[in-house]
Chain A
Amino acid sequence: GESVGLHLPTLSVQEGDNSIINCAYSNSASDYFIWYKQESGKGPQFIIDIRSNMDKRQGQRVTVLLNKTVKHLSLQIAATQPGDSAVYFCAENRGSYIPTFGRGTSLIVHP
């Protein structure tokens, strides 16, 4: 029979707006988190990381926020550009030294 594909959460924004992509993690023992960006036809690419002893870290146009109380991670992209259109994954280290990837969020930027 026909299989049903997984529909990724999708965020649509206008060029120039700020984007916020959210991620919930499950293991309170996780101590390291990474955001990856995957463009169509390519492998995931590292964007930014954060350790559990921090609650905020900034990069170029991106900021990651970590709320350990509610086990929530977010990626903020300032002045979103069409080139930011991609699937964004969060990954957490659950203590096994190997990151576990989330399902991903599709970001669509409209010019």
Chain B
Amino acid sequence: DAGVIQSPRHEVTEMGQEVTLRCKPISGHNSLFWYRQTMMRGLELLIYFNNNVPIDDSGMPEDRFSAKMPNASFSTLKIQPSEPRDSAVYFCASSLSQGAEEQYFGPGTRLTVT
């Protein structure tokens, strides 16, 4: 298995632009998680899906952030409009099921908003 796949690996954009991050979870995994990592705040859970349904989005910073999971093999995290404070590494992770299970992380997308 190729593991969790994220694209792009790096994104540099200007403030105000729309940014879309993509994730393909491991086949057969039912739960998907989006995290943001910064030096200041560490690893923060933004949202997670179980069986393609958003379960908890309380970590989403504000309305500029949205996430979708149209099917079991694809999810997107969108920021519109982007701001410099959104600069971070965004990780997608998947696990076999909702619960206290091992999560498999993707390589992350490093986002820089200028």
Measured CB to CB, the residues of A under 8 A from B are: 3, 5-6, 31-32, 34, 41-46, 49, 89, 93, 96-104
Q: Does B103 contact A (CB under 8 A)?
A: yes
Q: By the criterion CB–CB under 8 Å, are B93 and A34 in contact? A: no
Q: By the criterion CB–CB under 8 Å, are B108 and A43 in contact? A: yes
Q: By the criterion CB–CB under 8 Å, are B100 and A46 in contact? A: no
Measured CB to CB, the residues of B under 8 A from A are: 4, 33, 39-43, 45, 48, 56, 91, 93, 98-100, 102-108
Chain B residues whose C-beta falls within 8 Å of the C-beta of A5 in the assembled complex? 39-40
Choice from B45, B56, B100, B105 contacting A93 with Cβ under 8 Å: B100
Q: By the criterion CB–CB under 8 Å, are A104 and B45 in contact? A: no
Q: By the criterion CB–CB under 8 Å, are A98 and B40 in contact? A: no
Interchain CA distance A101-B39 in the complex, whole Å? 14
B interface, over-half SS: loop
Q: By the criterion CB–CB under 8 Å, are A98 and B45 in contact? A: yes
Q: By the criterion CB–CB under 8 Å, are B103 and A99 in contact? A: yes
Chain A residues whose C-beta falls within 8 Å of the C-beta of B108 in the assembled complex? 42-43
Chain B residues whose C-beta falls within 8 Å of the C-beta of A44 in the assembled complex? 43, 91, 93, 103, 105
Q: A42-B107, A44-B105, A45-B105 are in contact. Are A101 and B43 (CB under 8 A)?
A: yes
Q: By the criterion CB–CB under 8 Å, are B43 and A97 in contact? A: no
Chain B residues whose C-beta falls within 8 Å of the C-beta of A89 in the assembled complex? 43
New contact pairs (8) apart from A32-B100, A42-B107, A49-B102, CB-CB < 8 Å: A3-B40, A34-B102, A43-B105, A45-B105, A96-B56, A98-B45, A99-B103, A103-B42
Interchain CA distance A15-B100 in the complex, whole Å? 33
Choice from A6, A93, A96 contacting B39 with Cβ under 8 Å: A6
Tell me, rounded to whole Å, the shortest Cβ–Cβ distance linking A44 to chain B: 5
Residue of B nearest to A89 (CB): B43
Q: By the criterion CB–CB under 8 Å, are A99 and B39 in contact? A: no
